[in-house]
Chains A and B, each alone.
Chain A
């Protein structure tokens, strides 16, 4: 069989079954089973599919994923995250689009505490969206910042998706986690700048808060910050500090982050056995969903390699005489297209078997590639029709908000993220400087 026939067969099976609504993990397993029977032989190939499923996820490098998720869940279910957002709310005053700015600022802080984009978006959507809509913020200005900052969670550690990408692509996880910080902060700053400028030029987007209570004294505004936010920042210090200094591996840091989150929740009197069990079950649900897809990864890449599809596609790509920059742009284009239709784990499984050999052949910095990959996936969270955060927002928004309004709300922030992506593609030090200095 020609390499391109094998490639088309595998991709058509995965995409076709996904389009019919079969859960993504099962679509990959079907392709693996058929591909293994055709290319690896029956029945030995099928046995390798099930055995590889074990090998794919019995990997220590994946351990931070449930732990990072657990940190976010503990903060959410104990209400500490909501208190932190309320404390940040009290600090930000007299800014055009104030609550939208609070959403981005609070989201940035929570990104540094939570490992889940969806948790951040859902938390901010529940905490701030009703407030903004009640104060007659335009729905696009109310929803857009929340969705946008949810995506930033992917870049700022702890980030479960970064761990997944590092593990699958064999990119050092610790360096990749640190590399995402600067682009994430740049993105947050640009989101705030956009909100302030837009609301300053068009105040109807975010009417000034009339009839508010008398202004608080400085200590009244700062006290909740020190009480409800500063202790939580210890989690970030433990997680990122351990990685930065090299004292702890990402897995150690994640475990210490969990311990710190539990201690803080217990000290706040917010931790109960029932809540803890709820956190663990939610983590089990999300981790199972993601690792079950990853269970198909090893066989999928093996079949692509064994059938000659990987080498064939790589040779054809090299024939086009890609420069490293051209290759990066090509990868970005593929990821942005895929991001409209499939989830982030599927994007990794479909592209990494081709992208990583290409990057190695062209000597592309893997940390740089990893950050570009993450930002491209982040845009996928905001692009219709499949952008996941669009649906999360639909779930927390009032029923009269139409999907079209949610798309419109996300659009400017997706464009800003695209601009940051371009910046990172053309100026690699934004991604590589921080790990280069500290690690």
Chain B
């Protein structure tokens, strides 16, 4: 498997993992309601786990969502320009996206490293090492960065034709 295919497989896995995380949240909540209804106690850690899963799933799947063309964008101007004139604009915005991804890698990675170095722990229902919580930030930055590089290099799989009708939204 070449590196681009590996990246693609990673993105697909991240999308599936995020979906499974939401499925797990639903299943655990139903279990918690059942346990509470039977006066058998409560899953005291569920709130904390749900919060972490919401955050981790969002960041881990951000690059996959980008590849799906599902990050909402205001594309009126780009659509008006036509494909030829829109291309340099698209490249410029991809470069800006790459810069944002780099910030997540450098500063998110830096924060995770600092947390690991100092042994910082977040105390809620669990005592969770903070570096573990911060890890999705540089990971997301890395995946997003590779995706934006592929877009800048014109890799066909990284830049699906944008279809305004398929914008994701609530």
Contact = CB atoms under 8 A, between A and B. Distances in A.
Given A285-B65, A288-B58, A161 B22 contact: no
A17 B75 CA distance: 11
A308 to B, nearest CB: 25
Contacts of B145: none
A53 B137 contact: yes
Contacts of B75: 21
B40 to A, nearest CB: 16
A365 to B, nearest CB: 24
Interface string B96-128: 110110011001101100000000000000000
Contacts of A67: 22, 25-26, 29
Interface residues of A, number: 80
B158 interface: no
A284 B19 contact: yes
Contacts of B65: 284-285, 288-289, 292
B93 A21 contact: yes
Contact of B22 (A17, A25, A54, A66): A66
A255 interface: yes
User: Residue among A59, A69, A289, A343 with the most chain B CB within 10 A?
Assistant: A289
A258 interface: yes
Given A29-B100, A285-B65, A285-B168, A291 B58 contact: yes
A409 B112 CA distance: 52
A248 interface: yes
Given A281-B19, A345-B72, A117 B170 contact: yes
B139 interface: no
A116 B99 CA distance: 32
The B interface, classified by DSSP as helix, strand, loop or mixed, is: helix
Interface in B16-50: 16, 18-23, 25-26, 29-30, 33, 47, 50
A129 interface: no
A109 to B, nearest CB: 19
Nearest to A19: B77
B26 A33 contact: no
Interface stretch (A42-50, A184-192, A412-420): A42-50
A392 interface: yes
Interface stretch (A135-143, A350-358, A383-391): A383-391
A232 interface: no
Interface in A253-297: 254-256, 258-259, 276-277, 279-293, 295
Given A50-B103, A343-B169, A58 B78 contact: no
B106 to A, nearest CB: 9
A118 B110 CA distance: 39
A22 interface: yes
Interface in B149-170: 163-170
A288 B59 CA distance: 7
Contacts of A394: 164-165
Given A21-B78, A50-B104, A293-B72, A161 B170 contact: yes
Nearest to A279: B19
A252 B46 CA distance: 12
A393 B167 CA distance: 12
B73 A21 contact: yes
Contacts of B97: 22-23, 26
Contacts of B133: 54
Interface residues of B, number: 64
A259 B26 contact: yes
Interface string A43-84: 100110111011001111011011101100000000000000
B54 A17 contact: no
Contacts of B74: 18-19, 21, 24, 341-343, 386
A24 B169 contact: no
A333 B124 CA distance: 43
User: Residue among B15, B52, B93, B170 with the most chain A CB within 10 A?
Assistant: B170
B170 A284 contact: no
Contact of B33 (A46, A49, A116, A256): A256
A385 B107 CA distance: 37
B73 A287 contact: no
Interface in A138-161: 154, 160-161
B134 interface: yes
Interface string B57-75: 1110110111010111111
Given A54-B137, A285-B68, A118 B26 contact: no
B33 A391 contact: no
Contacts of B78: 20-21
A47 B51 contact: no
A160 B170 CA distance: 6
A40 to B, nearest CB: 13
Nearest to A262: B26
User: Residue among A58, A62, A394 with the most chain B CB within 10 A?
Assistant: A58
Given A23-B72, A54-B134, A70 B26 contact: yes
A391 B164 contact: yes
A391 B167 contact: yes
Given A43-B107, A285-B65, A395-B166, A26 B137 contact: no
Q: 8 nearest interchain CB pairs?
A: A395-B165, A280-B19, A255-B29, A23-B71, A284-B18, A21-B78, A284-B19, A58-B55
Interface of B: 15-16, 18-23, 25-26, 29-30, 33, 47, 50-52, 54-55, 57-59, 61-62, 64-66, 68, 70-78, 86, 89-90, 92-93, 96-97, 99-100, 103-104, 107-108, 110-111, 133-134, 136-137, 163-170
Given A24-B74, A295-B59, 15 more contacts: A17-B93, A47-B110, A65-B170, A69-B170, A116-B170, A248-B33, A251-B50, A256-B33, A277-B16, A281-B18, A281-B19, A283-B22, A285-B61, A292-B62, A395-B164
